[in-house]
A and B are shown apart, each in its own frame.
Chain A
C-alpha cells in the first residue's frame, strides 16, 4: 500500500502506507521526540485533531497491547487512537515484546487510522521547526494515487482544527465514577496516610487514563466530569479537590471559555485545584490571564523544567501546542516553573489559594516518572484544606 502526505505549504511526500487502507485524514502536523511511548501518544486525547509524527525512526518495535476482558492495558490513555494519522520513518512488522499482541500496523488498522512510513521524518521535523505547525492531509491508497492538487486545496481550505471545539469531541458526555472500575482491577493500594477516602473531580477535557490511575492508586475516589459541567453540579459532588485535565486544542476557544473556564472561575477558592497541561491554561484564563499558540509546541519526554522554588530541574513529559503568556500572568498567580530550554511557563500556583498547575504531564505515560510526586502534593493539599470552607 502506498501513501502520501500533503502539507499546507504545498509539500508532497510519498511513502509506504500502513494502518487503515484507502483512507485520508486531515489534521495539524506535529512531531513527538519521545523514543518510546507511541501507543500512549496515539491514544492521548490531546492529539485529537492532529497528525502525529514520531521523530524516532523505528516505531512499533515492541508492538501494541490490547484490552483483555474489557480492561484497557496501561499503555492506553483513552479507549481509542486519538491522533488522526500517524507518520514514521519505519514501522516494525515483527515486534518482539512479551506483552505485545498486535503490531502497530494492526492497531492502526483496527482503529481505522491511516499511517505512512518510509518518510524522511527528520526533514519534516526541520520544516515544522522552521515554519511552525502546518495543516496536512495524509492518505493511504491501494489503487491510483489521489490527486495531490485537490488534496492541497482541501488542506488549505479546511480551517485549522483549533477552530473547532476539540475538547468537546473527547470529553466524557456524562459523569463517570472511576473508582469502582479500577478497584475491580485490583489495582488500588490505599495510602495509609489517607484517613478517609478523598473524592476528586477530574474535569475531563480529554484526560489521559493515567491521570485517573495516579489518583486512584493513591486511594482517591475519582469522578470524571464532562468539560462543560457547571459549578453547581460539582458542588453537589462535594469533592475534596478538582483536577483540570489535559486536552486538545485552543484553551481560549469560545466553547471552553463559556464552560470550563467559567466553572473554574466560579469554584476558585472553594476547592483545591490542580491543572495539568490544558488544565493549567484554563486556570490561567479563569484568573484573567492569556494563552498563545507556540510555533510548533513541545511534544516529547525530555523537556527540562526548572522548579523556581527548590531550584531543581525535572525532566518532564510534554504535549502541548499552546502556552501561558507570562506577561499576562494575573497578579494572584505566581510562576513556579519554567522551561530550561525556552523559558516558557511550566508551572504556576495561586499566591493564596490551594491552586497549582503544571504545563507538563506528571502522570507520564509516556515519559519520565520524575514528577509523579505532584499527585502526592495535590492530595496533601486537599487533606490540609479545611472542609469547613465548603
Chain B
C-alpha cells in the first residue's frame, strides 16, 4: 500500500533526558524515524527536552522544539504547528504515555491530530494489565496468573488466589521496571505495593505468579496494516526470569531453542501482535519453563508434558531491546516502523542494508551478539548492588563474535570497567556463593571464579538458574586459560618463545585479548603477545553485518572482527574470499580516511553527549568529502546506526582492537577528542604505537598526545600555569596519610581530596577538617607510593564557570561561557548551567576570555577544549582544562546554533583536505557569520578571542537516577551523579529556569507549602528567599530551629516536628499527604550519616517532590516561581528554528 498523501506534517515526540531505563536508544530511533519520514516527503515536527540528541539538531526535523515534555507544553506545540499526525512509538515510555494522555484528554481530537502507527486501544491493550490479560486469554496465550489491583486489600486477596508468596508486583504504566519487585514475605509485599501504587500513572499494580528462574526469551516483531508480520530477531537472556531484561546479559539469536521451540514462540509472537493490532514494532517477552520447554500441543501429547511458557509482557513501541535487535541484525526497525505508520507495507519498503531486498524478510545472522549492561555502581558506593526486577544500569555494550566466548570477551572489554576479562576475583567462598544466588553486576565473573575453584557445573546452574550451555562456554574459557598459562616460563622472553602458534591461534579464536593472554602469562604488557601473534600471521578478519548471512551482496558498511583459521593457508582459488567482504579502500579513490573513536557505553560521566560529538565529527568529515570510519560498541546510539559513517566497526575501544582496525584500514587520521575519557586515555599508547610504526600513514588529528598529557598531568599543568601567571587553587600530592594531612593543613580546610589512580571524579570528596580527612583516608582510599592522593584547596562560595572553546592553534573561538547556578564544588555535570552568564561583571568575563586564549594556544589545542574556572573574591582561578570535547558541547551548540563539534572537526581535518578547502578557524568563522541571517547575532572578536552573544537564555539542568537506586542519598558534590540533562530555553532567565525544572520532571509549585531546612551557615541567606515565597503566596514549613529563626525576621512559618521526634506532623508525614510541594534543604556539611535528612531526601525522590539542595539554586527557583505566578503569565513554546 503506498504511503498516505493526506498527511503533510507529522509530529514525533522524543524521550527526554537520559535516565535509567531510557537511554540513547530513543535518540537513535527518533532520529531514524525523522529521516525516514522526511525521505517520504513529510514535514516533521520534533519535541524533546534533551539537547544532547542528534534528533534535536536543526537539520533533522523541519521544526524542532527543545521544550519540556508535559501534556500542557506538547498541546501548545500542537496548537502552534497543527500537525495532522503524531508518532507515539519513537520516544520510549515517555512519548507513549504522553500520547495516551493527549488522546485521553481529547487534545488530539481537538486539534484533529491522528495517532499514527499503533492505535490508542492497542497501547492500552498492551500496557493496561487487565486489558492485556483479557487479550491474551482471548487468543489462548498462557500468561502468569495475575491480578490488577488498586489497593493493598485487593493485593492480599490476589496473593491468596495465586497460591501464596512469592509474587511479583509490577506497577502499571511505568518504564524500566520502576517500583517493581518480588515479594517473598508480607513485609516486602507491603513495601513494594505501596511504592508501586505511587509510581503507576494509573495507580495500579499487578500481582503476578512468580516465574523467577525460568528461561527468558524476547521476540522483536514487526507488523504492517496489511497484517504482514515478521520477526526481526529473537534473543535469549542468560540471566533467568526475575532479572529485568535491561539488567540481563542477553544473546542473539536464541542459542538453546530447537527449531520447534523457536517456531512455537515465533508463532505466539505473531498471534499476539495481530491480536493487539499493533502497527509498527513491538517486543514480546516469554518465560519458558526449562524443565519442559515451550512444548506445543503436539509434542505435549507425545511427551506427556504440559505446555509451559508464559507471555510476560509486550512493549507496543520501539524499545531498548528493539534498538539492540536493530544493531544486532542490521534491520532498521525504527525506520521501517515510521514508514509503516504512514501506511506503507513491508514488501514495498526497501531493505537499505542490502539495497536489493525488502523489509519483508527475517534477518539471518551468521554471528552471535551479546549485550552486557553497564551499571553505575562505581559511582554509587552505597547503593544496593543486587540486580533484579528493577533497572539500575545506565547503559549497555554490544559485542559481535563468531562464538559465544569471543562475544563475551569483547563485551567485557567494551564495558570499560576495571576488568580486562575473567581475571581472578578476590573474595570469600561465601561471597562467591551469594553472588551466584543473589547476583550483582559481578555474577558473570563469579561464575568464572567458581569454575576455577572447582565448583561443579550443575551446582552453578542450580545456583544461578543459568542454562548449562552458557556455563559450559565459560568453562571452555577457564580451560583455555590453563592451556595458555602452561606456556608461562621464568621470564618474559622464554614465555613468549614458549607460546606456540596453535595455542595462540586457539586463544584468539576463542576471543582472548592480547592483554589478557599477557596477564595470564604474567607479562605486564600486551605488546610482546601482539608481536608474537603478528609474527605467526594471526590477524583478525573483519566480517560484515548484512541481515542475510552473506546470501546477498550487501552494501552495508558495518563490521566486526573475528579470527578465522589463517586464510593464507587455504589454497583458495579466485581468492579474495574475505576481500569480497573486506573494507579495503577503493584504489581509485583519492579520498583521505578519518577514524573517529566513539565513547562506548553510557555511564555516569560519559553519556550521550559524547556520542553526539562523535556523530558530528563523522558528519563533518563526510561533508568535506573524507571517508569517515567509526569504532563504537554501544548499541543504543546514533553513532552505531548503519548509515551514519562510511564504515562502522562494532568493536571494543581497547588498544588492541583500535590498533587492529588502524592496521586494517590504514586511515590518514584518527580523532580522539570526542570519545570522552575513553579515547583520551588511548592518546598516549596510540601515539607510541604510531611512532613505532612508520609504515602506517596514520596521524592523531587535533591536539597532540603530548599536549593532552600536559593538561592531564598535574605537575606539568601547574608548571604551565605558573609560566602563564594563571591562578589555581593551592594543591599538593600526598603519598601517605601523614603527608596528605600536612598538605591539607598547609593549604587550609576545606580541601578537595581524590585518589590519583581513578578517573572521572570517582572517590572525590570535600573534607572540612582533619577528622573527616582521617575518615576518608581510612575508609575510601589508601594512599601509597604508586597511588598518591591529590589535595586541592576547595574554594567556598565561589562561582564556577565552564568554557567550551575551539582553537586551531592560531585563533580561539569561545562557544559559550556557562555560569553554574550552584556554588563551585558541585560537579560540573551535575550543576545547573546558564548561558549567557548572569552575574559576571564585564571585567571577569574579559579575564576568562584572555585566560582561555592563553591556555588554548599554549596547550597547542587543535579542536575543542573545555576549561573550568572558579571565581572567588573577584579572582579568576582555573580548576582544570580538558583538551577534548566536554559534555556541555551539545548544549552550547544548540544554544548558539553553531555546531562546535563539527567546527572543531573541520579544524582538525584541515591537513587532510585539498588546499582549496584548507580554511583557518578565522576563515571558517567568517563563513559562519555570512550564513547568519540579518538581525541575528554575529560572531565578534574581543580580548583576542572570537565569541558569540545570544539574545535568549538557555539553561541546562541535570537529571538524577536516585529514584532507581535505593540507598543513594540526594546530595550533590564533586562526584558526578546525574545520568542526563535537559535544556530550558526562553527569552528570559526566569522562564528558561522554570522550563528546565519542568523538563527535568520537577514542576515548581505556584501554591502549597515549601518545606525549608537549611544548615546554620545558610540561615541568613534563606531569609530573602522565604520572604519572597510568602509574597508569592506559598506557605512555609520548618522544624523548630529554622522556624524560630525565620519568625525572628517576621516571616510566618508553620512549625513541624523533626522526623526523629517521631511525632506528626513531621516532614515525612506531610510529604506523604502530598502537602509539601517543594523542599529546600541544604545538607549539613560533612558526610556523616544524617538519618533525618537522608530519609526525607529519599522520600522526596520516591514521591517526585521537587528538591533543591543549594541556596543559589533556591534563589533562582523562587525568582522563577515569582515570575511565572505573575498575572497573565504562561509558558510559551518556540521552535529552535525561530530563535536564530
Q: B-contacting residues of A (Cβ < 8 Å)?
A: 7, 9-15, 31, 33-37, 39-40, 55-58, 61-62, 71, 74-75, 89-90, 92, 94-99, 118-127, 129-131, 148, 185-187, 217, 300-304, 306, 311-313, 315, 340-341, 364-370
* B366 adjacent to A125 (CB under 8 Å): yes
* A97 adjacent to B364 (CB under 8 Å): no
Whole-angstrom distance between the alpha carbons of A40 and B298 in the complex?
17
In the complex where A89-B402, A97-B258 touch, is A302 in contact with B298 (Cβ < 8 A)? no
Cross-chain contact of B550 among A122, A217, A367 (Cβ < 8 A): A122
* A35 adjacent to B364 (CB under 8 Å): yes
The verdict on B362 contacting chain A, using a C-beta distance below 8 Å, is: yes
The verdict on B570 contacting chain A, using a C-beta distance below 8 Å, is: yes
The verdict on B301 contacting chain A, using a C-beta distance below 8 Å, is: yes
In the complex where A125-B550, A185-B302 touch, is A96 in contact with B226 (Cβ < 8 A)? no
The verdict on B292 contacting chain A, using a C-beta distance below 8 Å, is: yes
* A15 adjacent to B259 (CB under 8 Å): no
Whole-angstrom distance between the alpha carbons of A20 and B469 in the complex?
24
Query: Which chain A residues border B270 with CB–CB below 8 Å?
Result: 370
* B468 adjacent to A304 (CB under 8 Å): no
* A56 adjacent to B365 (CB under 8 Å): yes
Cross-chain contact of B365 among A35, A92, A185, A367 (Cβ < 8 A): A35
The verdict on B299 contacting chain A, using a C-beta distance below 8 Å, is: yes
In the complex where A98-B292, A129-B550 touch, is A9 in contact with B302 (Cβ < 8 A)? no
* B258 adjacent to A367 (CB under 8 Å): no
The verdict on B253 contacting chain A, using a C-beta distance below 8 Å, is: yes
* B361 adjacent to A56 (CB under 8 Å): no
Cross-chain contact of B361 among A74, A120, A125, A303 (Cβ < 8 A): A303
* B549 adjacent to A56 (CB under 8 Å): yes
Q: Give, as a whole number of angstroms, the nearest-CB distance from A58 to chain B.
A: 7
26 contacts between A and B (CB under 8 A): A9-B574, A10-B573, A11-B572, A12-B571, A33-B364, A36-B258, A39-B259, A55-B549, A75-B260, A90-B402, A94-B468, A98-B293, A99-B303, A118-B565, A119-B565, A122-B543, A123-B577, A123-B581, A125-B366, A129-B551, A187-B302, A315-B231, A341-B358, A365-B260, A367-B259, A368-B267
The verdict on B1053 contacting chain A, using a C-beta distance below 8 Å, is: no
Query: Which chain B residues border A14 with CB–CB below 8 Å?
Result: 565, 569-570
Whole-angstrom distance between the alpha carbons of A95 and B257 in the complex?
11
Q: Give, as a whole number of angstroms, the nearest-CB distance from A340 to chain B.
A: 5
Query: Which chain A residues border B256 with CB–CB below 8 Å?
Result: 61-62, 96-97
| Top 9 closest pairs, chain A to chain B, by CB | A37-B259, A96-B469, A302-B362, A123-B577, A55-B549, A36-B259, A33-B364, A120-B564, A125-B550
Whole-angstrom distance between the alpha carbons of A148 and B573 in the complex?
14
Q: Give, as a whole number of angstroms, the nearest-CB distance from B309 to chain A.
A: 13
In the complex where A74-B260, A127-B574 touch, is A94 in contact with B472 (Cβ < 8 A)? yes
Query: Which chain A residues border B565 with CB–CB below 8 Å?
Result: 14-15, 118-120
Query: Which chain A residues border B293 with CB–CB below 8 Å?
Result: 97-99
* A315 adjacent to B230 (CB under 8 Å): yes
Query: Which chain A residues border B361 with CB–CB below 8 Å?
Result: 302-304, 315, 340-341
In the complex where A9-B574, A99-B293 touch, is A304 in contact with B358 (Cβ < 8 A)? yes
* B468 adjacent to A306 (CB under 8 Å): no
Q: Give, as a whole number of angstroms, the nearest-CB distance from A208 to chain B.
A: 13
> CB-defined interface of B900-941 with A at 8 Å, one 1/0 digit per residue?
000000000000000000000000000000000000000000
Q: Give, as a whole number of angstroms, the nearest-CB distance from B881 to chain A.
A: 47
Whole-angstrom distance between the alpha carbons of A340 and B227 in the complex?
16
* A11 adjacent to B257 (CB under 8 Å): no
Nearest A-chain residue to B577, judged by Cβ: A123
Query: Which chain B residues border A122 with CB–CB below 8 Å?
Result: 366, 543, 549-550, 581
Q: Give, as a whole number of angstroms, the nearest-CB distance from A329 to chain B.
A: 22
Query: Which chain A residues border B574 with CB–CB below 8 Å?
Result: 9, 11, 127, 130-131
> Among the interface residues A36, A56, A75, A369, which one has the most CB atoms of the partner chain B within 10 A?
A36
The verdict on B363 contacting chain A, using a C-beta distance below 8 Å, is: yes
Whole-angstrom distance between the alpha carbons of A34 and B253 in the complex?
11
The verdict on B352 contacting chain A, using a C-beta distance below 8 Å, is: no
> CB-defined interface of B155-188 with A at 8 Å, one 1/0 digit per residue?
0000000000000000000000000000000000
Query: Which chain B residues border A126 with CB–CB below 8 Å?
Result: 550, 577, 580-581
Query: Which chain A residues border B259 with CB–CB below 8 Å?
Result: 34, 36-37, 39-40, 75, 365-367
> CB-defined interface of B561-585 with A at 8 Å, one 1/0 digit per residue?
0001101011111100110110000
Cross-chain contact of B263 among A57, A62, A99, A364 (Cβ < 8 A): A364
| Residues of chain B from 719 to 771 with CB closer than 8 A to chain A in the complex | none
Q: A-contacting residues of B (Cβ < 8 Å)?
A: 226-228, 230-231, 253, 255-263, 266-267, 270, 290-293, 298-299, 301-303, 345-347, 356-358, 360-368, 402-404, 467-469, 472, 541, 543, 548-553, 564-565, 567, 569-574, 577-578, 580-581
Q: Give, as a whole number of angstroms, the nearest-CB distance from B269 to chain A.
A: 11
Query: Which chain A residues border B467 with CB–CB below 8 Å?
Result: 96
* A306 adjacent to B550 (CB under 8 Å): no
* B552 adjacent to A129 (CB under 8 Å): yes
* A187 adjacent to B301 (CB under 8 Å): yes
* A369 adjacent to B552 (CB under 8 Å): no
Query: Which chain A residues border B550 with CB–CB below 8 Å?
Result: 55, 122, 125-126, 129
* A130 adjacent to B364 (CB under 8 Å): no
In the complex where A13-B570, A125-B551, A187-B301 touch, is A312 in contact with B227 (Cβ < 8 A)? yes
Query: Which chain A residues border B253 with CB–CB below 8 Å?
Result: 35, 56
Nearest B-chain residue to A68, judged by Cβ: B302
Whole-angstrom distance between the alpha carbons of A75 and B572 in the complex?
36
Whole-angstrom distance between the alpha carbons of A58 and B360 in the complex?
26
Whole-angstrom distance between the alpha carbons of A39 and B261 in the complex?
13
Q: Give, as a whole number of angstroms, the nearest-CB distance from B1084 to chain A.
A: 56
Whole-angstrom distance between the alpha carbons of A303 and B573 in the complex?
30
Nearest B-chain residue to A90, judged by Cβ: B403
Query: Which chain B residues border A368 with CB–CB below 8 Å?
Result: 263, 266-267, 362
In the complex where A75-B258, A125-B551, A126-B581 touch, is A55 in contact with B366 (Cβ < 8 A)? yes
Cross-chain contact of A96 among B356, B468, B569 (Cβ < 8 A): B468
* A125 adjacent to B549 (CB under 8 Å): yes
Whole-angstrom distance between the alpha carbons of A36 and B262 in the complex?
8
Query: Which chain A residues border B356 with CB–CB below 8 Å?
Result: 341
Q: Give, as a whole number of angstroms, the nearest-CB distance from B447 to chain A.
A: 15
> Among the interface residues B256, B549, B570, B573, which one has the most CB atoms of the partner chain A within 10 A?
B549
Query: Which chain B residues border A13 with CB–CB below 8 Å?
Result: 570, 572
* A33 adjacent to B577 (CB under 8 Å): no
Nearest B-chain residue to A311, judged by Cβ: B226
* A341 adjacent to B368 (CB under 8 Å): no
Whole-angstrom distance between the alpha carbons of A97 and B257 in the complex?
8
Cross-chain contact of A58 among B262, B403, B569, B572 (Cβ < 8 A): B403
Whole-angstrom distance between the alpha carbons of A98 and B549 in the complex?
29
Whole-angstrom distance between the alpha carbons of A272 and B848 in the complex?
89
Whole-angstrom distance between the alpha carbons of A43 and B663 in the complex?
45
Whole-angstrom distance between the alpha carbons of A62 and B257 in the complex?
7
In the complex where A98-B291, A123-B564, A366-B259 touch, is A341 in contact with B357 (Cβ < 8 A)? yes
Whole-angstrom distance between the alpha carbons of A257 and B345 in the complex?
41
> Among the interface residues B301, B468, B553, B573, which one has the most CB atoms of the partner chain A within 10 A?
B573
Nearest A-chain residue to B298, judged by Cβ: A187
Query: Which chain A residues border B227 with CB–CB below 8 Å?
Result: 312
In the complex where A95-B469, A121-B366, A368-B266 touch, is A304 in contact with B548 (Cβ < 8 A)? no
* B570 adjacent to A11 (CB under 8 Å): yes
Query: Which chain B residues border A303 with CB–CB below 8 Å?
Result: 361
Whole-angstrom distance between the alpha carbons of A280 and B469 in the complex?
41
Whole-angstrom distance between the alpha carbons of A295 and B847 in the complex?
73
* B230 adjacent to A57 (CB under 8 Å): no
Q: Give, as a whole number of angstroms, the nearest-CB distance from A166 to chain B.
A: 24
Query: Which chain B residues border A129 with CB–CB below 8 Å?
Result: 550-553
Query: Which chain A residues border B363 with CB–CB below 8 Å?
Result: 302
* A302 adjacent to B577 (CB under 8 Å): no
Query: Which chain B residues border A127 with CB–CB below 8 Å?
Result: 574, 577
Query: Which chain A residues border B549 with CB–CB below 8 Å?
Result: 33, 55-56, 122, 125, 300
Q: Give, as a whole number of angstroms, the nearest-CB distance from A87 to chain B.
A: 13
